[in-house]
Amino acid sequence: MRTYKYQIREHPQILRLGNLLDDLADVHNHFLALEKRYYRIYGKYAGRYRLQPHLTKLLQRTHPHWAWIPRDTLDAVIIRIHIGYERFFDWIKKGRRGRRVGPPKFKKRSKYRSAKFQTGYAIFEEREDGKPSKVPQGTVRLSFKEWDADKQKFVFVRRNILYHHHRDWNGIVSYVQILRDSVGTFWLYVVTNDISKEVKPATGESVGADFGLEIYLTLSTGEKKQHPQPLKQSLNHLRKLNKAVSRKKKGSGNYWRAVRELARTYRKIADQRKDFQWKLATDLCARFDLIATETLNLEVMKRLWGRKVSDLAFYQFVEILKFKCFKHNREFFQVGLWTPTTKPCSDCGFHNENLSLSDRQWTCPDCGAHHDRDVNAAINILRGCLDPLVE
C-alpha cells in the first residue's frame, strides 16, 4: 500500500470534522472502559467480535447521537483498540523483550487524531469509460447522517471537503483517513494499492554508509554529509515559546494561541528534518545501485546522548531509505548489530583493539595504511554486506 497526504482547506465544513473526532474520542474511551471492566469481571479479553455487536445495541438505545457517524468509522475505533491489545499481549508472550509496547490508553478529545473511512466516502478517480468523475478533483465527499424532523429518522447527507490536490495518486483507493495534527490543521490521507516502481538507470556503483554524531553520514567513497540539526538550531526560539505558554492563564484564549504557536514550531522542525532526509535518500538512490548501512542500538544511544540522537533521527532516515530503494529498484542491506566495522583495517583486516572513540585518524600497525575512522568503517560496512563469510 502507498499513502498520499493532502492538506484540507480551511472552510466551514471542517467544523464537522472536529465534531467527528471529538465523538470518536468518546467512543474510544467508552469501549476501552468496557474492555477493562470486562477483564476485571471475567478475567479475559472481550475482543472486537463481542464489542461490535454491543455497539449496534448502543446506537439503538443509549447512544443514538453516535449514529450520525458512518458505521465503518465507528468500527475502526474498536478494531484499533483490538489491535492495540493484541500487540501488547504479543509483547508479553515474548517475555517483554524488544521495544516496550503498552496497552491502549484513554484519550482526551483534543488528543484523538484520526478517523478512518472505509466505505462512507467518494473521491476523484479516473473512470474507464472516459466520462468525468462524479467528484471533482480536490474534493472528497464524506457521507454522514443527519436527523430529519419530518421523517423522524436519520438520513444520509453528503458533505464536500476541499483539499489541496498538489499531486495525483496511482492505483485504486483502498480507504481514506482524516487526521488532525497538534496545530489544528486537518490532513487527508489517501491509501492506495499502488506498488509500482520508478526504476532509475543502473550506475554499477555500490556504497557503504556509516552514521555518526558529529558527521551524520560518511560514505565509503570518502564523502561526508552534515545534518542541519533543526531542533538544535531552534532551541532558543523554543525556550521563548515555552516561557510564553507558562505565563498565560491555562485555558484562556491567549494560552491556546501560545500552545498552537509552539506546536507549529515543532511541526516546522519535523518538516525540515524530513526534507533533508528525503533529499539525501533520493541523492543516494540516484548515484548507487547498492546501499549498505549499519544497524544501530538506538535505545542505548538515546540513554547516552538523548536529545541529539532524537534530532538526528537515524531510524526515520533508514525507513525513508528503504522505501526509496524499493521505489527506484535499488538494493538495500544492513550489517548485523555486532558486526565489527570500526576497529578492523579495511586494507589488511587487522583489528586495532587500542582504538578509542576520540581517535578520528589512525594508522594500521600491521600494514601501515592511514585511515579516517568513519571512512574505514563505511568501507567495512559495504564489505560486510557484500561478503557472505563476514558475520
Does the reported pTM lie above 0.85?
yes
State residue 128's pLDDT score. 67
State residue 4's pLDDT score. 94
The larger pLDDT score, comparing residue 262 to residue 127, is at 262
- The bridge status of strand 331-334 relative to strand 114-117 is unpaired
Share of residues in the chain with pLDDT > 70 (%): 98
pLDDT in tens, 23-57: 999 999 999 999 999 999 998 888 899 999 999 99
- The bridge status of strand 331-334 relative to strand 290-293 is parallel
The larger pLDDT score, comparing residue 339 to residue 18, is at 18
Ranges 99-108, 168-177, 219-228, 354-363: which has the least confidence: 354-363
Q: Which of 287, 303, 277 is nearest to 217 (CA)?
A: 277
pLDDT in tens, 211-237: 999 999 999 999 999 999 999 999 999
Give the separation between CA 8 and CA 159, rounded to whole angstroms: 14
Mean pLDDT of the chain: 90
Query: What band does 391 get if pLDDT is binned at 50, 70 and 90?
Result: very low
Decide: 344 and 351 in contact? Cβ < 8 Å. yes
| Mean pLDDT, residues 235-247 | 97
State residue 130's pLDDT score. 67
Strands (E), 43-185: 114-117, 121-123, 139-148, 153-162, 173-180
Strands (E), the chain: 2-7, 114-117, 121-123, 139-148, 153-162, 173-180, 186-192, 206-211, 217-219, 224-225, 290-293, 331-334, 361-363, 370-372
Q: Alpha helix locations (H) across 168-252? A: 230-233, 235-247
Q: Give yes or no for residue 365 having a pLDDT over 50.
A: yes
Q: Give yes or no for residue 75 having a pLDDT over 90.
A: yes
How many CA atoms within 13 Å lie on the side-chain side of 10? Answer: 2
Q: Where are the domains of the chain?
A: 2-192, 206-386
Q: Give yes or no for residue 390 having a pLDDT over 90.
A: no
Give the separation between CA 356 and CA 349, rounded to whole angstroms: 18
The residue behind cell 544501530 is 296
Catalytic machinery residues:
210, 294, 374
C-alpha cell at 328: 527506484
pLDDT in tens, 88-98: 999 999 888 87
pLDDT in tens, 270-326: 999 999 999 999 999 999 999 999 999 888 888 889 899 999 999 999 999 999 999
Q: Which of 299, 300, 289, 320 is nearest to 217 (CA)?
A: 320
Give the separation between CA 167 and CA 177, rounded to whole angstroms: 17
C-alpha cell at 190: 489517501
- Exposure string of 254-263, with b = 16+ CB inside 10 Å and e = fewer, is ebeebbeebb
